[in-house]
Structure 1
Amino acid sequence: MEQHIGSKSGSERSLRIAVMLLVAASGALESVSFLGLERVFAGVMTSNLALLGMAVGRGESVGVTAAVLALAGFGLGVLIGAWYTRGSATAATRWPRCVVVVLAAEAVLLAVGALVWGLTGGRPGETTRYVMQVGAGLAMGAQSAAMVAAGHTAAPTTYLTGTLATYIVKGVHGGRQGVWVPLRFAGLVVGAGVSAALLKEARAWAALPPVVLMLCALAVACAPLGARRHGSAGRS
Structure 2
Amino acid sequence: MRGRERVGLLLLSAASGAADAFVFVCVGQVFAGVMTGNLVLLGASAAGAGEEGVAPRVVTALVSYGCGVAGAALVGERMWRRVPVMLLAEVVLLAAGAGLWAARPAVSDADRLGLLVLMGLAMGVQGRVRSTPTNYFTGTLTSLVGRLAVGAWRGDDGWTAGRLTALVAGAALAALTVRLWPEGGAMVAAALAVAALLVEVSAGPGRAAADPGNGKPRPDRGNPAGAA
Normalized against structure 1, the TM-score is what? 0.81
Q: Show the counterpart of 1:161.
A: 138
The alpha carbon displacement at 1:129 in A equals 0.7
Letter in 2 for 1:69: T
Q: Please say if 1:182 is aligned against 2:165.
A: no
Q: Please say if 1:32 is aligned against 2:22.
A: yes
Q: Show the counterpart of 2:226.
A: none
Relative to 1, partners in 2 of residues 1:227 and 1:50: Cα closer, same or farther, differing over 3 Å?
closer
Deviation string, structure 1 residues 15-59 (Cα, Å, up to 9, x no partner)? 011000000001000011111002100011111000000011017
Which of 82, 90, 112 aligns to 1:98? It is 82
Q: CA RMSD in A?
A: 2.0
- Give 3-state SS (helix, strand or coil) of 2:176's partner: helix
The alpha carbon displacement at 1:114 in A equals 0.4
Which of 5, 20, 23 aligns to 2:10? It is 20
Q: Please say if 1:79 is aligned against 2:57.
A: no
Distance 1:124 1:62 in 2: 14
Fraction of identical pairs, as percent: 35
The alpha carbon displacement at 1:221 in A equals 2.0
Gapped runs of 5+ residues in structure 2? 208-228
- 1:92-131 to structure 2, matched below 5 A, reads 97-120=81-104, 122-131=105-114
Letter in 2 for 1:107: V
Distance 1:76 1:108 in 2: 16
- 1:180-219 to structure 2, matched below 5 A, reads 180-219=159-198
- Give 3-state SS (helix, strand or coil) of 2:72's partner: helix
Is the 8 Å Cα contact of residues 76 and 85 (structure 2) preserved in structure 1?
A: no
Is the 8 Å Cα contact of residues 96 and 118 (structure 2) preserved in structure 1?
A: no
Q: Show the counterpart of 1:47.
A: 37
Relative to 1, partners in 2 of residues 1:15 and 1:49: Cα closer, same or farther, differing over 3 Å?
same
Relative to 1, partners in 2 of residues 1:124 and 1:103: Cα closer, same or farther, differing over 3 Å?
farther
Letter in 1 for 2:112: R
The alpha carbon displacement at 1:134 in A equals 1.5
Deviation string, structure 1 residues 62-115 (Cα, Å, up to 9, x no partner)? 111111000000000000011012367xxxxxxx61121011111011101101
Deviates more, 1:176-185 or 1:32-41: 176-185
Task: Determine which structure has more spread, i.e. the larger CA radius of gyration.
Answer: 1
Deviation string, structure 1 residues 184-219 (Cα, Å, up to 9, x no partner)? 111111110011111112100111111110111111
The alpha carbon displacement at 1:222 in A equals 2.2
Gapped runs of 5+ residues in structure 1? 1-8, 89-95, 149-154, 229-236
Distance 2:188 2:45 in 1: 30
Distance 2:172 2:52 in 1: 29
Normalized against structure 2, the TM-score is what? 0.83
Is the 8 Å Cα contact of residues 33 and 136 (structure 2) preserved in structure 1?
A: yes
